[in-house]
C-alpha cells in the first residue's frame, strides 16, 4: 500500500477524545476555532517560551567570566521583559478585538514564565560553576539543550505533531507539553503521542519520560512511558480519524455540559436544539 496522504495531527487525537465531531468540523468541513481569551493567552505563552529559547544562546554568550546566580537571573529577566513586549505586540489585533487589557495580560504572562526563567538561570549557573566554562564554550557544552515548537513526523504512523519543548541530552530526550490551563486526562495522551513520534524519528535516543508543565504555577507532572494501552488507544483513534476524513463521515453530536466549553458550540447548537 502506498503512503497514506492523510496525516493525523496530535491535536486531532486529543480533540477526538473531547468530541469526535470537533475533528470532523475542523478536518472535513474546514472550520477554525474562534479566538477566545484562553486561546490567545495560551498562544502568547507559547510564543514567549519560543522567543526565550531563541535568545538563550545570546544570553549565555554574554557570560564571559564567573558571576553569581543573581547576575545571570538578571540577564534572563531583562530579555524576558523585552520578549514579553514582542509577544504581546504579535497578538495585538486579537487582544484588541476581544477587548482585553494588555497590562493585565503582561502581568499574568510574566507570572507564568518567571519560574522557568529562574530554573534556566540556576541550570546555567550550576553548570558554569561545576565545569568552569564561559561564553561560547559554556553554550556548546551546556546540558540540556532546549528546543521549542519542534515539528516531528512519523511516516510509519501517519501522525504529525509540534512539541512545545524538548530537553536534549547526549543520549536521551525529555519532551514537555506546556499548558496554560488545568490538568485534563487527554494531556497524558498528547504526551504519549509525542513519545511515539520521537521514538520513530529518533530511535537512537533513550526516551523514558515526559513532563506536563502547567505554566500558571510551574507545576510539573512527570509521566513515565510504560503504558502500552495508551499507545494502542492513540493508534486506534488515529485510524478512526483517517476513516472519518477519508469518508467525510459526520460522527454525529450529543449534547453534554462540556459542549458549552467548546469553540464550536454555536456551530453545533446555534438553533438551541439539544436533541
Q: Which domains does the chain carry?
A: 8-34+145-246 (3.90.320.10), 37-141 (no CATH)
Q: How many other C-beta atoms can be found within 10 angstroms of the C-beta atom of residue 20?
A: 19
pLDDT tier at 61 (50, 70, 90 boundaries)? very high
Cα dihedral 159, 162, 166, 168 sign:
positive
Instruction: Please write the tens of the pLDDT for every residue from 62-90.
Output: 999 999 999 999 999 999 999 999 999 99
76-81 LR contacts (CB < 8 Å, sep 24+)? 76/52, 76/117, 76/120, 76/121, 77/114, 77/117, 79/52, 79/55, 80/48, 80/52, 80/110, 80/113, 80/114, 80/117, 81/110
For the chain, helix (H) and strand (E) counts, in that order, are 10, 6
pTM listed for this prediction: 0.83
- pLDDT digits 0-9 by tens, 127-146: 999 999 999 999 999 999 88
Amino acid at each position: 500500500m502506498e503512503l497514506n496522504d492523510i496525516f493525523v495531527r496530535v491535536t486531532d487525537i486529543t480533540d477526538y477524545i473531547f468530541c469526535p465531531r470537533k475533528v470532523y468540523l475542523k478536518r472535513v468541513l474546514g472550520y477554525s476555532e474562534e479566538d477566545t481569551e484562553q486561546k490567545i493567552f495560551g498562544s502568547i505563552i507559547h510564543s514567549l517560551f519560543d522567543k526565550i529559547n531563541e535568545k538563550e544562546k545570546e544570553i549565555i554568550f554574554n557570560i564571559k567570566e564567573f558571576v553569581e546566580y543573581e547576575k545571570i537571573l538578571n540577564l534572563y529577566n531583562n530579555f524576558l521583559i523585552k520578549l514579553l513586549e514582542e509577544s504581546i505586540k504579535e497578538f495585538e489585533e486579537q487582544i484588541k478585538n476581544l477587548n482585553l487589557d494588555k497590562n493585565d495580560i503582561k502581568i499574568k504572562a510574566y507570572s507564568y514564565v518567571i519560574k522557568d526563567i529562574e530554573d534556566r538561570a540556576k541550570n546555567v549557573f550550576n553548570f558554569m560553576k561545576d565545569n568552569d566554562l564561559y561564553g561560547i564554550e559554556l553554550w556548546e557544552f551546556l546540558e540540556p539543550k532546549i528546543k521549542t515548537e519542534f515539528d516531528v513526523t512519523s511516516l510509519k504512523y501517519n501522525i504529525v505533531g509540534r512539541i512545545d519543548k524538548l530537553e536534549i541530552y547526549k543520549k536521551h530526550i525529555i519532551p514537555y507539553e506546556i499548558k496554560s490551563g488545568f490538568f485534563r486526562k487527554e494531556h497524558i495522551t498528547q504526551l504519549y503521542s509525542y513519545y511515539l513520534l520521537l521514538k520513530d524519528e529518533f530511535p537512537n535516543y533513550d526516551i523514558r519520560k515526559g513532563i506536563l508543565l502547567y505554566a500558571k504555577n510551574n507545576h510539573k507532572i512527570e509521566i513515565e512511558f510504560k503504558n502500552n494501552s495508551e499507545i494502542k488507544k492513540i493508534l486506534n483513534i488515529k485510524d478512526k480519524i483517517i476513516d472519518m476524513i477519508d469518508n467525510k463521515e459526520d460522527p454525529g453530536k450529543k449534547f453534554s455540559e462540556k459542549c458549552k466549553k467548546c469553540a464550536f458550540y454555536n456551530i453545533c447548537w446555534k438553533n438551541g436544539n439539544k436533541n
